[in-house]
Structure 1
Amino acid sequence: MKGQEWYQADDIAEAYEDKRFSQGGRVIDRREKEAVVDALAPLEDKRVLEVACGTGRFTVMLAERGAEIVGMDISEAMLEQGRAKAHAAGVDDTLFFMKGDAGRLPFPDNHFDAVFAMRFFHLAPDPEGFIREMRRVSKEQVFFDTFNRYSTRSIYNWALPMGSRLYSEREVRELLVGADLELADADHDFVVPYGFYRAVPGWVARPFRALDSAVGRTPLGDRLASVSYWDARVSE
C-alpha cells in the first residue's frame, strides 16, 4: 500500500514532526492535543490505547497527565522516536510502545477504558474493520479524527505522497453504527486546510488561524471544516 510504504520509511520518521509541527504547524499540534485531552479527560489512572501512535506526540502527553497508556504503530522507526521521547520525559513506567497491526489488535475484549487514533483513518485501507477492532478492545470510548470530503481538503488531496481518504458525515456515522458505537460528540475545525499552515512561518499562521477560527464559529463553520473529531461511546 502506497501510504504504508511512505509512512514506514526511516527518513520520514526522523523528519516527521519537524516537517509537520514546526513553524505554522504548531497551531495544528496545539489544536489536536487540545481535542485529545478534552475528549479523554479525566486521565488519571485511565487505561488508554493509541492506535497508530507515530512518534508519540499524544502518548507522551497523556502519560504526563496520569494515563496508563499503550502506543501501537506499524512503523518501528516511528516507535523508536516515541521511546526516546518517553525516556526524555520520564514516563517510561506508565507508557509502553509496541509494533502491531491495527486490523488485529493484540488485546482482549474491553481491555482499555478508551481507544483513540489521530491521523489514521485517512490512510486506513479497511476503516470498517479497524473501527470494529478499536471498539472491541475498548469498554467505554473510541475517539478519532477524519479529513472531510466536502471541504478545502479536497483541493490539494491528490498531491499528497501517501494519498488520503476523505469522509462525509454520513460515512462516519455508518462506521459508528457498524461498530456498535454511539456518537457522543463531534467537533469540526480548520476551514483553511492543514497543508497551508505547514507551509508558512508561525507569524503568518497565527493571524490566519484567528480568521479560520472566527469563520468556524459562524453557522457555516461546520460545513466548511476540513477536519472533524469524533467522540463515540460503546453502546449499552
Structure 2
Amino acid sequence: MTDENKAFYRKHADTIWAKRFDAPDPIRRHAHRTQYAALIDTLGKGSVLDAGCGEGVIPILLAERGRASVGVDLSEPNIAAARALAAGRGLAHLATFEVGDAERLPFADRSFDTVVSSHVLEHLPDFDAGFRELCRVARRRVVVALPTCLNLSAAALLGGDHGYWKFSKRSFLALPWGLLRIIGHLFGEGVQEGYAGRDDLPHVWRYPWVMRRCLRHPEFVMTSFRASTFVLPYATWSLPFVRWLERYRSAPFLRNFGYGSIAVLERKDPCQEGKLPVG
C-alpha cells in the first residue's frame, strides 16, 4: 500500500458498529451479524489475532464469550473506539488492541493459534503479500473473509447503488449495471468498487474461484469454504427464507453465491493430518 493510502487509513474511522453491526436496516444488520457469527464459529481454540480489526467487533464479541484476543488495525480512530468500547463493557482485560500494519504485523512467526482477517485483503494492492503475512504469524489456522460478487446484493453496490438494503430510484439502473460489470469482468480477478468515495483506493469484489485460488499457500490447506450470507437486495420480507437458506452456506454449489465468502486454512503440520482440502 502506498504511503498516501496508508496516511488515509491511519485517520479513517470505519464506524462499523453503528453502520453495520447495529445498522437500522434489517437486511444490512442481518448480513453483518451473520458474517461475524460465522467467523467466530470457525476460530477454534487457542489464541486469536484479528488482523485489520476495525472497531474491534470480533475481539469484543469473543470477549463477551470469555475469550481473550488481540486486535490490530492501521486506523488510529478505529483502535481508540475499540479500546473505549471494550473498557465501557468491562472487557478490556480480554480484548486488547494496538495500532499496526496488516502488511507488517508486529508479531513473531506463529505467534497466534488463529489469525482472522475480515474484509481487509481486498483493500491491499498486493493481496499476496498481505495473505502471506497472515500465514506467517498463524500457528495453526487462518480465517479469511472477503467480498465476493456472485450475488444480487453485491451487484447493486457494484452498479452504484447507495445500498443494497434500501430501494431507491437509483436501484432501477444499479442492479442491471452491476450484473453487467460482474459478467464483463468474468475472466479477470474481480470487480473494483473503490472505497470511501475514492476510486483510487482498492476494494475488489472477487469471484469465489479467484478467492480460493488466491488463498493458496505451500504450508496451509483450505479445509472450509462457505458463503457469508445470502441476503437479497431491498427485500426485507425475504429474510426468513434467507435464514433458512443459510443453513446450506457450505453446500458445493450454493457456497459460490454468497454476499461475501469465508475460507478456513489450516497449517500442514502433523497435528493437522486428516484434514481434507476444499477445491
- TM-score for the superposition, normalised by structure 1: 0.81
Structure with more relative contact order (C-alpha pairs < 8 Å, separation 6 or more): 1
Equivalent residue in structure 1 for 2:33, among 30, 39, 61:
30
**Greater alpha carbon shift after TM alignment, 21-30 vs 91-100:** 21-30
**Greater alpha carbon shift after TM alignment, 139-148 vs 20-29:** 20-29
Report the secondary structure of 2:151's partner residue: coil
Who is 1:201 aligned against? Answer: none
> How far off its partner does 1:64 sit?
2.6
Who is 2:68 aligned against? Answer: 68
> How far off its partner does 1:114 sit?
0.4
Kindly provide the amino acid, as one letter, of the partner of residue 108 in structure 1. Answer: A
Conserved? CA contact 1:71–1:95, under 8 Å: yes
Conserved? CA contact 1:189–1:213, under 8 Å: no
Kindly provide the amino acid, as one letter, of the partner of residue 238 in structure 2. Answer: F
Report the secondary structure of 1:122's partner residue: helix
Where in structure 2 are the equivalents of 1:43-192 lying within 5 Å?
46-152=46-152, 153-157=154-158, 159=160, 162=195, 164-178=203-217, 180-192=219-231
Q: Give distance in 1, aligned partners of 2:143 and 2:229.
A: 18
Write out per-residue CA displacement over residues 82-112 of structure 1, whole angstroms, 9 at most, x where no aligned residue.
Answer: 0011101212122221111111111111110
Q: Give distance in 1, aligned partners of 2:157 and 2:6.
A: 20
Greater share of residues in helix: 1
Q: Give distance in 2, aligned partners of 1:234 and 1:127.
A: 19
Q: Give distance in 1, aligned partners of 2:103 and 2:159.
A: 26
**Greater alpha carbon shift after TM alignment, 137-146 vs 124-133:** 124-133
Who is 1:200 aligned against? Answer: none
Who is 2:263 aligned against? Answer: 230
Q: Give distance in 1, aligned partners of 2:8 and 2:158.
A: 16
**C-alpha distance 219-158 of structure 1, shift in aligned 2 (>3 A):** same
Report the secondary structure of 1:187's partner residue: strand
**Whose Rg is larger?**
2
Conserved? CA contact 2:147–2:259, under 8 Å: yes
**Greater alpha carbon shift after TM alignment, 20-29 vs 108-117:** 20-29
> How far off its partner does 1:26 sit?
2.1
Q: Give distance in 1, aligned partners of 2:122 and 2:134.
A: 16
- Aligned Cα RMSD in Å? 2.7
**Greater alpha carbon shift after TM alignment, 150-159 vs 87-96:** 150-159
Report the secondary structure of 1:101's partner residue: coil
Kindly provide the amino acid, as one letter, of the partner of residue 92 in structure 2. Answer: D
Q: Give distance in 2, aligned partners of 1:222 and 1:158.
A: 23
Where structure 1 has 5 or more consecutive residues not aligned to the other structure, the ranges are: 198-203
* Number of corresponding residues: 222
Conserved? CA contact 1:181–1:233, under 8 Å: yes
> How far off its partner does 1:214 sit?
4.4
> How far off its partner does 1:29 sit?
3.1
Where structure 2 has 5 or more consecutive residues not aligned to the other structure, the ranges are: 161-192, 196-201, 270-279
Q: Give distance in 1, aligned partners of 2:5 and 2:31.
A: 21
Q: Give distance in 2, aligned partners of 1:223 and 1:107.
A: 34
**C-alpha distance 20-5 of structure 1, shift in aligned 2 (>3 A):** farther
> How far off its partner does 1:178 sit?
3.2
Write out per-residue CA displacement over residues 2-36 of structure 1, whole angstroms, 9 at most, x where no aligned residue.
Answer: 976665545x44x4432223122321232022112
> How far off its partner does 1:157 sit?
2.2
Kindly provide the amino acid, as one letter, of the partner of residue 267 in structure 2. Answer: V
**Greater alpha carbon shift after TM alignment, 119-128 vs 67-76:** 119-128
Report the secondary structure of 1:115's partner residue: strand
Write out per-residue CA displacement over residues 16-75 of structure 1, whole angstroms, 9 at most, x where no aligned residue.
Answer: 432223122321232022112210134xxx211001101111111112323331100010
Report the secondary structure of 1:36's partner residue: helix
Report the secondary structure of 1:87's partner residue: helix
**C-alpha distance 120-57 of structure 1, shift in aligned 2 (>3 A):** same
